[in-house]
Homo-oligomer: A and B are copies of this chain.
Amino acid sequence: MDTQLSIQQLAASTGLSPHTLRYYERIGLIQNVARDAGGRRRYTAADLDWLRFLMRLRQTGMSITEMLRYAGLRREGSSTQAERCAMMEAQLAHVRQEIARLQALAGFLADKVDGYHDALRISMNAANTEIKHAESRRNPLPERPRKTRRS
């Protein structure tokens, strides 16, 4: 059973909009999409797999242009395996670098958040002191040492 999918069904299965599916076909990311008697698109399971693969590449930050290059190579057959492999390796390196970059930025944000927490603790303490009319003038809470987070 060669289950065929309408554009709506493929949209539902991928999460892409029909608009985007037509757009991907227009630019050549998907090719040779079958049509029924009335000229409507009939997608195959292979189309669905390919789309899902493309979506993952997209999620890694690969540009449409790069994906087009990959799609072109794939169409040329197994002689381009090494090149496609290199593309995936490059993309993997790219993603790993991005992870490292974001980890450093997470450290920066965590420090910033800690700074705010300290500031807020102090200002709450000050407010408290006012309410209590300097009742707890002895024993001020120590200013919590700054934890230089590097996650």
Known: A98-B102, A102-B102. A123 touches B91 (CB 8 A): no
Question: In the complex, how many angstroms separate the beta carbon of A30 from the nearest chain B beta carbon?
Answer: 19
Residues of B within 8 A of A78 (CB): 119, 123
> Which residues of B are found within 8 Å of A106, using beta-carbon distances?
92, 95-96, 99
A129 and B37 CA atoms in complex are apart in Å by 49
Contact of A116 with B60 in the complex, beta carbons under 8 Å:
no
In the complex, chain A residues 89-109 whose Cβ is within 8 Å of any chain B Cβ: 89, 91-92, 95-96, 98-99, 101-103, 105-106, 108-109
**Further pairs besides A59-B105, A92-B109, A95-B105: 5, Cβ < 8 Å:** A60-B105, A82-B120, A85-B116, A88-B112, A95-B106
Residues of A within 8 A of B (CB): 56, 59-60, 78, 81-82, 84-85, 88-89, 91-92, 95-96, 98-99, 101-103, 105-106, 108-110, 112-113, 116-117, 119-120, 123
